[in-house]
A = this chain, B = another copy of it.
């Protein structure tokens, strides 16, 4: 009576519904975990410690990454298909959100790589990653503060860039507004913006972009 999981989503879209834990009680999350199963993996996102315990009591073998606030059951990700998803974190503080994106893409069936702390203040660091970035079917770039990295990366590679603004920063970063606006105004075309701190959305979108050709 408090939730109707969109069970048909997998049939309609090819990807299962995820359970967004914020704003749900641990008991509600546990009930959903107990009822889950059927086709494909169930992801629990933005799970705090209480949510995680509730899920693990029902599904003790679930995968859990506390940094990313993510659980997955069954714990084994599908065998990767489609293209490579490279996830880039501009700074160390963007790592949590970047991992949420990477794990989501992996559990939706893609091969993933993670690159950390390559912000534009020291440009040689991202340039050193060009061979990897050029192999990607899609690049996710998580950045806070000035949000300048997606523009720079998009200018260097043929793949589309999923720009993932983070709330890292203070003052006139206004909780992620500054990098969000930066990314929406990226002077290099080919930048797809998602919500602030929305690692799940970025990973899902990347998985769709890098999906194997249906034909």
Contact = CB atoms under 8 A, between A and B. Distances in A.
Given A171-B176, A192-B205, A196-B172, A3 B148 contact: no
Contacts of A158: 12-15, 208, 211, 214
Contacts of A205: 160, 189-192
Interface residues of A, number: 92
B117 A182 contact: no
B151 A146 contact: yes
Interface stretch (A17-25, A34-42, A55-63, A72-80): A17-25
20 contacts: A2-B92, A3-B116, A8-B122, A9-B122, A15-B158, A22-B93, A83-B215, A121-B151, A123-B155, A123-B156, A145-B185, A146-B187, A147-B182, A148-B182, A160-B208, A170-B196, A178-B185, A181-B181, A182-B182, A193-B194
The 8 closest A-B pairs by CB, nearest first: A171-B196, A23-B93, A192-B192, A6-B122, A148-B148, A121-B188, A178-B181, A189-B204
